[in-house]
């Protein structure tokens, strides 16, 4: 009779262990991350974006989720004249380019909102899944691309363009935006354009949808 409490305690302990094992077996897996919308603003170090890139080690300016606070716009000029500059480049001091650290899977569409002035002409807006530029054989195909007409105006005006992402793309650590001259027939003389950014009056930005990595809330 004295052994009964001991046996009962042993049975309870075993039952408790089995219960924990059953709960562990039926515990739900973490829900997969949901797509999020990212807004990144284009930044620069000085008023002259071309000078920034000529002096920098990287062929890109920076873009991130921090909204600009300054009131003075920064600008980068670009032009098109026959085969110059070489538009088969990812980055470079003659091509307005920005990059930001990103992970996860890009999907859906990308919307680029920027402020530009130009002689008559178009711009090709490209998004790359790279963080290191190259030209010709080292050029990486964009994951999204679209052409948009630039405002033929001496002052910067708003431009919005949507770039469909052909298929979900796993980001390789960075997302890069580039704006280059478009091919416009019937023009007399070269196209000269400028992109303004990084101010409260010209808050140029890129908006994209992505699925974060497991355990992350953003890309």
- Report pLDDT for 182: 83
pLDDT tens, residue by residue, 16-46: 444 444 444 456 777 788 999 999 999 999 9
The Cα 37–Cα 31 span in angstroms is: 18
Mention the CATH class of domain 36-211. mainly beta
pTM reported for the whole predicted model: 0.83
- ω into residue 85 within 30 of 0, thus cis? yes
Nearest to 106 by CA among 167, 41, 31: 167
Buried b (16+ CB within 10 A) or exposed e, 170-181: ebeebbbbbbbb
Q: Is 176 left (phi over 0), alpha (psi -120 to 50) or beta?
A: beta
By the 8 A CB rule, do 178 and 93 touch? no
Q: Report pLDDT for 63.
A: 97
Closest CA to 179 of 208, 131, 147: 147
Please give the Cα distance from 71 to 205 (Å, whole number): 16
Structural domain boundaries in the chain: 36-211
Beta bridge partners of 57: none
Q: Using one digit for the tens of pLDDT, what is the confidence trace for 99-153? A: 999 999 999 999 999 999 999 889 999 999 987 778 888 888 999 999 999 999 9
Q: E-assigned strands of 57-104?
A: 61-64, 74-80, 97-102
């Amino acid at each position: 009779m004295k052994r009964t409490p001991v046996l009962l305690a042993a049975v309870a302990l075993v039952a408790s262990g089995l219960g924990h094992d059953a709960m562990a077996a039926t515990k739900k897996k973490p829900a997969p991350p949901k797509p999020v919308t990212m807004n990144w603003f284009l930044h620069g170090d000085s008023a002259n974006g071309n000078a920034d890139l000529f002096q920098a080690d990287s062929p890109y300016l920076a873009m991130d989720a921090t909204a600009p606070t300054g009131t003075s716009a920064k600008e980068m000029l670009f032009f098109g004249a026959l085969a110059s500059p070489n538009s088969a480049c990812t980055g470079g001091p003659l091509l307005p380019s920005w990059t930001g650290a990103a992970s996860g899977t890009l999907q859906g569409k990308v919307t680029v909102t920027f402020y530009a002035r130009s002689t008559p002409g178009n711009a090709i807006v490209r998004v790359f899944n790279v963080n290191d530029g190259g030209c010709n054989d080292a050029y990486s195909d964009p994951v999204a691309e679209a052409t948009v007409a630039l405002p033929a105006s001496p002052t910067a005006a708003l431009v919005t363009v949507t770039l469909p992402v052909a298929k979900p793309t796993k980001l390789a650590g960075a997302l890069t935006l580039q704006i280059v001259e478009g091919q416009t027939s019937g023009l007399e003389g070269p196209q000269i354009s400028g992109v303004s950014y990084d101010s409260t009056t010209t808050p140029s930005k890129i908006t994209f949808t992505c699925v974060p990595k497991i355990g992350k809330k953003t890309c």
